[in-house]
Amino acid sequence: MTVTDTQVTWLTQEAYDRLKHELDELIANRPVIAAEINARREEGDLKENGGYHAAREEQGQQEARIRQLQELLRTAQVGTAPTDSDVAAPGMVLTIRYDDEDTEQVLLGSREEGSHGDLQVISPNSPLGAALLGARVGETREYQLPDGGSMKVSLVSAEPFRG
């Protein structure tokens, strides 16, 4: 992936601060995990040392989360949740109607924002999210399906998310 391919993730200031705090805690915890691995290594035979292997696995998971958070925060676009209705933007709950007349409520945003209740989260970078981005109520947009076909979707309503 090149720098120009990087996807921007929209986050509120609160979500950015929460994720930054989690990252800082994980980085601060690195020496604790390293000490645990060293203590388990001292116990002897590594082949049969479950505590050593568990500590190594925990370290791997922690390092993966650190990398994930660093990339997410590096590409984050911080803003405030929208207050205007009737236009599809990140942070909005959208009611959409598909070609087949089915309607659905979705949140246009990032899973990293926090709890969304029963709402499905649609990324603004996904084909559906990109098609809806900037749409006004009553407007119909078309987006590409994974099988190469396309589908039309209409914006029925757009309201700010109230988590």
Give the SS3 label for residue 154: strand
How many degrees, rounded to 5, is the angle at CA 82 between CA 76 and CA 88? 90
Q: How far is CA 82 from CA 73, 134, 151, 154, in A?
A: 20, 12, 27, 20
Domains of the chain: 3-78 (1.10.287.180), 81-160 (3.10.50.30)
Q: What is the DSSP string of 97-112?
A: EETTS-EEEEEES-GG
Least confident segment among 11-15, 86-90, 126-130, 142-146 = 11-15
58 CB burial (10 A radius; 0-12, 13-18, 19+): middle
End-to-end CA distance of the chain: 33
* 103 bridge partner residues: 97
| pLDDT at residue 153, rounded to an integer | 93
User: What are the pLDDT digits (tens) for 10-44?
Assistant: 677 777 888 899 999 999 999 999 998 888 888 87
Task: Calculate the average pLDDT of the chain.
Answer: 82
User: What are the pLDDT digits (tens) for 138-152?
Assistant: 999 999 988 988 999
Which pLDDT band, with edges at 50, 70 and 90, does 101 fall under?
confident
Is residue 115 over pLDDT 70?
A: no
Residue holding tokens 């603004």? 124
Q: What percent of the chain has pLDDT over 90?
A: 28
Is residue 130 over pLDDT 60?
A: yes
